Amino acid sequence: MEAILISVAAAAAGKASEAVVKGGAVAVRKAAELVRRRFAGTAELERAERGEIAVEDLAEAIQHACASDEDFRRNLSDAVGQPIRVAKFHNEFHGDVKNVVQADTVNGLHLS
């Protein structure tokens, strides 16, 4: 999970510190407003605002929304000033499966 999504989720849930919301973090504030509009009336946002779920859970919901809605992902990326990356994976393993590796970026990997 990208740290920026956790920051945005915290701000959207009203859990960000006053310094972040009122200070120089205009991008996070703008992104939080975008998330509040997208998730208005949803259980995820309402529960995050009440502190019933962790902001990481809201961040995960934001990430899923980015994966399924390209316009939302693009707008959120523009708001935070950096690309929001989403991975779209669906793996199924049947029978005896050993040594499965899934990775985004691996530097200096040596297999023997």
pTM: 0.69
Q: Tell me whether residue 99 is in a domain.
A: no
Give domain status of residue 70, yes or no: yes
Domain ranges, residue 27: 3-80
Residue 108 in domain? no
pLDDT single digits (tens) 34-90: 999 999 999 988 998 888 988 889 999 999 999 999 999 999 999 988 888 876 666
Domain count, the chain: 1
Whose tokens are 């297999």? That residue is: 111
Q: What is the mean pLDDT of residues 97-103?
A: 72
- The one-letter code for the residue type at 3 is A
Task: Decide if 90 is inside a domain.
Answer: no
Please provide the DSSP assignment of 29-60 as one string: HHHHHHHHHHTTT-HHHHHHHTTSS-HHHHHH
- Residue 3 reports pLDDT greater than 60: yes
